[in-house]
Amino acid sequence: MANVASPYGLNPIKLIGGQAFNGGVIREYKVASNNSAAIFNGDLVVLSSAGLPSAVSATPTAIDIPNAANATAGIVGVCVGARYVDATGVSQYANYLPANSITAGYTEVYVRVMDDPDALFQVQGTAALGTFNSGTDGSGYPGAIGKNAALDFNTAGKTTTGKSGVALLVGANGSSLATTTTLAVRIVDVVDGTQTDDYPEFVVKLNVGVHSYNNPLGV
């Protein structure tokens, strides 16, 4: 039951269409200059024009196909950890990358990213679905599936757990769920048993063009 707001970011759980899932394809991106902000497990990772990874800090946009507008460029997936040699010379595999890793004396710093554009993620919602287009059981379950949604970045990641604070922006009674083409994710499912919770859990996929591999706009 999700009756406490405890967002944990985007957690990869499977691939769309029943494709084989072995935990996710991981690509490592080198952090060659200091990261001013932490990159938490479950954060979206975006590349700069110099190819340097950082955490996304605001909800991305998808391709607006009717108006031929580009999506946010450079998002390569979701952080699932980091590896580095710490200031004492010990190799570390960590749940997240702390802020200012280079100035702290870390070397060989890499962010580990689940970069499959077909990935499905589990994420906590920011509010109850309530009466939103509910079915006969009042769960809100049927009406949420297939809607688009933005991501919420109002909760900071936790250094104690290394987990992201990113959540799905639901709004009161599902008011933030919409058909809008530019919203970041598509809702694929509502996790069974959480439909009537204060903070339901969702299965989502990055919308068209949010992932760099599906976006013709380079960095």
13-27, 46-60, 83-97, 143-157: which range is least confident on average? 13-27
Please return the burial class of 214, using the count of CB atoms within 10 Å of its CB with bins 0-12, 13-18 and 19+: middle
- Name the pTM for this structure: 0.91
User: Of 201, 23, 20, nearest to 112 (Cα)?
Assistant: 23
Tell me the two tokens of residue 8: 């944990």
% of the chain surpassing 90 pLDDT: 69
Confidence check: pLDDT of 134 > 70: no
Query: Any idea what DSSP says for residue 198?
Result: S
Confidence of residue 157 (pLDDT cuts 50, 70, 90): very high
pLDDT, tens digit (0-9, with 9 covering 90-100), for 62-105: 877 655 567 778 899 999 999 999 999 999 999 999 999 999 99
Q: CA 107: distance to chain centroid? A: 26
Residue 136 pLDDT exceeds 70: no
Digit-coded pLDDT (tens) for 158-205: 999 999 999 999 999 889 999 998 999 999 999 998 988 999 999 999
Angle ∠(90,114,43) on CA atoms, nearest 5: 80
Task: Specify the pLDDT at position 69.
Answer: 66
